Amino acid sequence: MKNEIIVLERQFDAPVSMVWKAITDRDEMKKWYFDLAEFKAEVGFRFQFSGGPAPDRQFVHLCEVTEVEPEQKLTYSWRYEGYPGNSFVTFELFGKGNQTTLRLTHKGIETFPGENADFAIQNFRDGWNEIIHTSLRNHLEK
pLDDT tens-digit profile of 1-53?
578 899 999 999 999 999 999 999 999 999 999 999 999 999 999 999 998 88
- Region of residue 112 (left: phi > 0; alpha: psi -120 to 50; beta: else): beta
What digits encode the pLDDT tens for the residues 55-75?
A: 898 999 999 999 999 999 999
What does the longest C-alpha to C-alpha distance in the chain come to?
46
Name the DSSP class of 134: I
Which residue ranges form the domains of the chain, and what is each CATH number? 6-140 (3.30.530.20)
Please list, in sequence order, all residues whose beta carbon lies within 8 angstroms of the beta carbon of residue 83, skipping any fewer than 6 positions away: 59, 112, 113, 116, 119
Beta-carbon contacts of residue 4 (< 8 Å; ≥ 6 apart): 109, 110, 121
Measured CA to CA in angstroms, residue 80 lies from 19, 24, 28, 84, 124 at distances of: 27, 21, 24, 7, 14
Q: In the prediction, which pLDDT does 1 show?
A: 55
Q: What is the mean pLDDT of residues 107-117?
A: 95
| Cα 20 from Cα 13, distance rounded (Å) | 13
